[in-house]
Structure 1
Amino acid sequence: MKAFVSLLLACSALTSLAHASSDQAWNDHNAQMSERCIAASTLKNVKVLGEPAEFDDRVGYSALLLEGRYPQKHMNNRKGTELCLYERQRNLAFVTEWAPAKP
């Protein structure tokens, strides 16, 4: 009986380790998030700035900064920055203009 309990505890410990995401899974997630955020952007020539901010699974969002150029004629091709919130469960991207805080 003790051997069975020990085996059960060992299996449950190994099972919890199996839930960790692989590097490939994170790369796929980041690629999909970048693609969806860029598609949702209102800027042209958009690129991703830095690494995503990954919120806890209870929140279910990742955040990504984008940079590009305003397409409107009156904006004179000025640089712009957007914040993209990516909802991981439904693979949806939402963007808003982002102005960095000034010191």
Structure 2
Amino acid sequence: MAGIHECLQKKRDESQKALTQAEAHVNTMLSRWDVEDQYIVQAKSHFAIDKQEFINYREAHCLFIKSLGASGIGNALEIKEYSCIAELNYRRIAQLREAVSQFQLK
């Protein structure tokens, strides 16, 4: 069980690093987007809200998933939580990539 725990902890951490990179990519793409500045400012503002709402959702959802472990102990509950976080992070990365994939850049 310890091996699975460590593996999923590593996946959680790797997914968080990849998500941070994807978010930076979105900000870069927004800055280079070939539209009027007002739309860039608006999109960046909404993206900041979107990022926080994703964090809130991920935290609530993964706590719910963890709670489905019922009377499981320690590692078993963390395994559920870590796998949930990694999965949601990777889904989010795909969503962010898709969101800016068709941008016309300056």
> So what's the TM-score if we normalise by structure 2?
0.34
> So what's the TM-score if we normalise by structure 1?
0.35
Structure with larger RCO (C-alpha < 8 A, sep 6+): 2
Which is strand-richer, 1 or 2?
Answer: 1
